[in-house]
Structure 1
Amino acid sequence: MEERRTPGVEPPGRPDDVFDEARTARAVVDEHGIVTGWSEGARLLLGYPPAEIIGEPAASLLVETVNAETLGGIRTLPTWNGRLRLRHRDGHQVEAGVLAHHRLEGGGGADWFLVSALTGTAAVPEDELLLAWSFEQATNCGITLYDTRLRLRRANDDAQRTAALSETDMRGLRFSEFIADPVMHELEWNMVRVLETGEPRHVETYVRAPGESRERAWSAFLYPLRNRDGAVRGVCMSGQDMTEQYWARKRLQLLNDASARIGSTLDVTRTAQELADVAVPAFADFAAVDLLCDRDSDLGTAPSHLPEASAAGPLRLRRAAHQSVFPGIPEAVVPLGGVDSPIMGLRAECLTGGRGVLRVEQDPQTAGLFLGDERWLAAVRAFGIHSVIGVPLRARGGTLGVAFFARHQRPEPFGKDDLLLAEEMSSRAAVYIDNARRYTRERNTSLVLQRSLLPRGTPTQSALETATRYMPADAWAGVGGDWYDVIPLAGARVALVVGDVVGHGLHATATMGRLRAAVRTLADIDLPPDELLTHLDDVVIRLRTEGDHAEEDSGNSAAVDAGQVGATCLYTIYDPVSRRCTAACAGHPPPAVVRPGSDVEYVDIPAGPPLGVGGLPFETVELQLPEGSLLALYTNGLIESAQHDLDEGLESLRKALSAPISSLEDMCDHVLNALVNDRPRDDIALIIARTQQLDDRHVATWDLSGDLTEVARARDLAARQLGDWGLQESAFVAELVVSELVTNAMRYGEDPIQLRLIRQDALICEVSDGSNTAPHLRRARSFDEGGRGLFIVAQLAECWGTRQRPIGKTIWAEIALQPPNNSAISR
Structure 2
Amino acid sequence: MSPVNPFDDAATARVVVDDSGTLREWNEGARLLLGHPAADVVGRPAAELLADGDDTPPGPEDERWSGTLALRHRDGHTVSVWVLATRRPSTDGGPGAWLAVTPLDRGPDQPTDPLVGAALTQSPCATMIFDDQLRLRGVNDACARLLGLPPDLVRGLRPTDLSGRPQNAELEQRMGEVLATGRPYDLHSHFKAVGETRAHPWLVRVAPLTDTEGQVRGVCATAHDFSEQHLARERLYLVNDASVRIGTTLDVTRTAQELADVCVPALADFVSVDLLDPQDHGAEPASVSPPVGLRRTAHRSVNPGSPEAVAEPGQLHVYPAGSPQAECLVAGQAIVAAVSFGDLERWLEWDPVRLRRVEEYGVHATMSVPLQARGTTLGVAVFTRFRRPYPFTHDDVLLAEEVTARAAVCIDNARRYSREREATLTLQRSLLPRWLPPTAAVEAASRYLPAARSGVGGDWFDVIPLSGMRVAMVVGDVVGHGIQASATMGRLRTAVRTLADIDLTPEELLTHLDDLVVRLSEESGDDRAGEVGATCLYAVYDPVSRRCAMARAGHPAPVLVPPAGPPRQVELPSGPPLGVGGLPFESAELELREGSVLALYTDGLVESRERDADAGQVLLCEALAIAVDSLDAACDRVLRTLLPSGSSTDDVALLLARTRGLPAGQVATWDIPADPSLVAPVRKQVLEQLSAWALLEASFTAELVVSELVTNAIRYGAPPIRLRLIHDATTLICEVSDSNHTAPHLRRARTWDEGGRGLLLVAQLTQRWGSRHTSEGKTIWAELGLLDEE
Measured against aligned partners, the alpha-carbon deviations of 1:710-756 in whole angstroms (never above 9, x if no partner) come to: 22122112111111111112111111111111111112111111111
CA contact (8 A) 2:444 2:631 kept: yes
Partner of 1:487: 464
The Cα shift of 1:767 comes to 0.7
Partner of 1:692: 660
3-state secondary structure, aligned to 2:745: coil
Q: How does 1:640-679 map to 2 (within 5 A)?
A: 640-661=607-628, 663-678=630-645, 679=647
Distance (Å, rounded) in 2 between the aligned partners of 1:341 and 1:139: 60
Q: Which moved more, 1:563-572 or 1:316-325?
A: 563-572
Q: Cα gap change, 1:389/1:704 in structure 2, threshold over 3 Å: closer, same or farther?
A: same
Compute the TM-score of the two structures, normalised by the length of structure 1: 0.75
The Cα shift of 1:180 comes to 6.3
Distance (Å, rounded) in 2 between the aligned partners of 1:358 and 1:138: 44
Distance (Å, rounded) in 1 between the aligned partners of 2:679 and 2:567: 48
Distance (Å, rounded) in 1 between the aligned partners of 2:538 and 2:215: 93
Partner of 1:108: none
Q: Cα gap change, 1:468/1:381 in structure 2, threshold over 3 Å: closer, same or farther?
A: closer
CA contact (8 A) 2:115 2:129 kept: no
CA contact (8 A) 1:138 1:158 kept: no
3-state secondary structure, aligned to 1:545: helix
Q: 1:519 aligns with which of 496, 502, 509?
A: 496
Partner of 2:287: 307
What amino acid does structure 2 have at the position aligned with 1:747?
R
Equivalent residues, number: 676
Distance (Å, rounded) in 1 between the aligned partners of 2:366 and 2:625: 62
Q: Cα gap change, 1:440/1:801 in structure 2, threshold over 3 Å: closer, same or farther?
A: same
What amino acid does structure 1 have at the position aligned with 2:174?
N
Partner of 2:236: 252
Measured against aligned partners, the alpha-carbon deviations of 1:394-426 in whole angstroms (never above 9, x if no partner) come to: 223322111111222212332232222212221
CA contact (8 A) 2:282 2:416 kept: no
What amino acid does structure 2 have at the position aligned with 1:605?
L
Q: Cα gap change, 1:361/1:716 in structure 2, threshold over 3 Å: closer, same or farther?
A: same
Partner of 2:577: 610
3-state secondary structure, aligned to 1:584: strand
Q: 1:754 aligns with which of 722, 729, 748?
A: 722
Distance (Å, rounded) in 1 between the aligned partners of 2:191 and 2:222: 16
Q: 1:473 aligns with which of 444, 451, 459?
A: 451
Q: How does 1:16-27 map to 2 (within 5 A)?
A: none
The Cα shift of 1:621 comes to 1.6
CA contact (8 A) 2:129 2:221 kept: yes
Q: Which moved more, 1:584-593 or 1:387-396?
A: 387-396
Partner of 1:585: 552
Distance (Å, rounded) in 2 between the aligned partners of 1:181 and 1:750: 108
Partner of 1:183: 167
Distance (Å, rounded) in 1 between the aligned partners of 2:691 and 2:161: 115
Distance (Å, rounded) in 1 between the aligned partners of 2:577 and 2:332: 52
CA contact (8 A) 2:288 2:330 kept: no
Partner of 2:746: 777
The Cα shift of 1:131 comes to 11
Partner of 2:436: 458
The Cα shift of 1:370 comes to 6.2
Q: How does 1:66-85 map to 2 (within 5 A)?
A: none
CA contact (8 A) 1:319 1:338 kept: yes
The Cα shift of 1:694 comes to 2.1
Overall identity of the aligned pairs, in %: 53
3-state secondary structure, aligned to 2:446: strand
3-state secondary structure, aligned to 1:206: strand
Q: 1:532 aligns with which of 501, 509, 523?
A: 509
Q: Which moved more, 1:133-142 or 1:393-402?
A: 133-142
3-state secondary structure, aligned to 1:399: strand
3-state secondary structure, aligned to 2:676: coil
Q: How does 1:36-435 map to 2 (within 5 A)?
A: 141-147=125-131, 150-163=134-147, 167-168=151-152, 171=155, 174-176=158-160, 181-195=165-179, 200-212=184-196, 215-225=199-209, 234-294=218-278, 301=281, 303-305=283-285, 307-309=287-289, 314-343=291-320, 344-362=322-340, 367-369=344-346, 375=352, 376-435=354-413
Distance (Å, rounded) in 2 between the aligned partners of 1:522 and 1:211: 89
Q: Cα gap change, 1:355/1:185 in structure 2, threshold over 3 Å: closer, same or farther?
A: same
Compute the TM-score of the two structures, normalised by the length of structure 2: 0.79
The Cα shift of 1:136 comes to 5.2
3-state secondary structure, aligned to 2:421: helix
1:636 matched to 2:616? The reply is no
Q: Cα gap change, 1:769/1:383 in structure 2, threshold over 3 Å: closer, same or farther?
A: same
CA contact (8 A) 2:600 2:654 kept: yes
Distance (Å, rounded) in 1 between the aligned partners of 2:121 and 2:383: 41
- Structure 1: segments with no counterpart, 5+ residues: 1-126, 553-559
What amino acid does structure 2 have at the position aligned with 1:771?
N
The Cα shift of 1:704 comes to 0.9
Distance (Å, rounded) in 2 between the aligned partners of 1:138 and 1:308: 61
1:625 matched to 2:602? The reply is no
Q: Cα gap change, 1:593/1:380 in structure 2, threshold over 3 Å: closer, same or farther?
A: closer
Q: Cα gap change, 1:715/1:656 in structure 2, threshold over 3 Å: closer, same or farther?
A: same
Q: Cα gap change, 1:195/1:648 in structure 2, threshold over 3 Å: closer, same or farther?
A: closer
What amino acid does structure 2 have at the position aligned with 1:712?
A
Partner of 2:685: 717
3-state secondary structure, aligned to 2:657: strand
Q: Which moved more, 1:529-538 or 1:178-187?
A: 178-187
CA contact (8 A) 1:636 1:684 kept: yes
The Cα shift of 1:765 comes to 0.6
Distance (Å, rounded) in 2 between the aligned partners of 1:578 and 1:505: 42
The Cα shift of 1:766 comes to 0.7
Partner of 1:3: none
Distance (Å, rounded) in 1 between the aligned partners of 2:733 and 2:367: 77
RMSD: 3.2
Q: 2:676 aligns with which of 708, 711, 720?
A: 708
What amino acid does structure 1 have at the position aligned with 2:201?
A
1:805 matched to 2:774? The reply is yes
Partner of 2:89: none
Distance (Å, rounded) in 2 between the aligned partners of 1:818 and 1:464: 23
Partner of 1:739: 707
Q: Cα gap change, 1:702/1:325 in structure 2, threshold over 3 Å: closer, same or farther?
A: same
CA contact (8 A) 1:768 1:810 kept: yes
Distance (Å, rounded) in 2 between the aligned partners of 1:718 and 1:281: 86
Distance (Å, rounded) in 1 between the aligned partners of 2:240 and 2:509: 55
3-state secondary structure, aligned to 1:334: coil
Distance (Å, rounded) in 2 between the aligned partners of 1:499 and 1:730: 40
The Cα shift of 1:500 comes to 1.2
Partner of 2:532: 565
The Cα shift of 1:791 comes to 0.7
3-state secondary structure, aligned to 2:522: helix
Q: 2:737 aligns with which of 768, 774, 777?
A: 768
